[in-house]
Structure 1
Amino acid sequence: MSGPVAREIEILLQEAFLPTRLDVINDSARHHGHSGDDGSGESHFTVVIESAAFVGKSRVDRQRMVNRALGDIPGNRVHALAIRAFAPNEAD
């Protein structure tokens, strides 16, 4: 079961990109007791997203687009966010 931050990430990315694939993976347990672990259980995430919105965009541009769509979540409400963003038909 995902927590409120994970659900919010999913909703925001669904609305912004209409992805053909979206995985929001909570990595927080792997970082328990490390820097940035706030005890919430929702401090570290990996996002794997595939969307036509990323066609022709560089890796950096894709990451910026995802971060923009998530507003204050990255770096504020979530300590670490790994982003793997793909256009349709790109190798994963």
Structure 2
Amino acid sequence: MSAETAALLRERLAALAPQSLAIEDESHLHAGHAGAKEGGHYKITIVAAAFAGQNTVKRHRLIHAAVGDLMRGRIHALSIRAFSPDEV
């Protein structure tokens, strides 16, 4: 995993005050894929109170708003599993 990209993801997602956050680099699974040259493929699992009462689309929008410009360079694809504390 690009330690720098993971650190940036953690820094940006801190705005959601996660109770837990796991970041996995899945770029190796996409070797040869056109996007593999333009940014990594990451999977996050995040638990945050900010997701309580929010549907999946709203949760993903919160995450994309937090990571912002990382999605236009460092990250080509982001797989998201987002939960509120009462769902885990």
- Partner residue, 2:60: 63
- Partner residue, 1:10: 10
User: Aligned partners of 1:32, 1:6: CA distance in 2, in Å?
Assistant: 19
> Which stretches in structure 2 are left out of the alignment for 5+ residues?
none
TM-score by length of 1: 0.86
The structure in which a higher percent of residues are strand is 2
- Which runs of at least 4 in structure 1 moved beyond 6 Å after TM superposition? none
Higher mean C-alpha displacement, 1-10 vs 80-89: 1-10
Q: What percentage of residue pairs aligned between the two structures are identical?
A: 38
- Partner residue, 1:22: 21
Please list, as runs of the form range in 1=range in 2, the aligned pairs for 1:1-92 lying within 5 A after superposition.
2-14=2-14, 16-38=15-37, 43-74=40-71, 76-77=72-73, 78-91=75-88
TM-score by length of 2: 0.90
Q: What is the CA-CA distance between 1:2 and the residue it aligns to?
A: 4.6
How many residues align? The count is 87
User: Aligned partners of 2:37, 2:6: CA distance in 1, in Å?
Assistant: 15
User: Aligned partners of 1:9, 1:56: CA distance in 2, in Å?
Assistant: 24
Cα deviation digits, residues 56-78 of structure 1 (max 9, x gap): 0010000000000001112x121
Higher mean C-alpha displacement, 62-71 vs 25-34: 25-34
Larger RCO: 1 or 2 (CA < 8 Å, sep 6+): 2
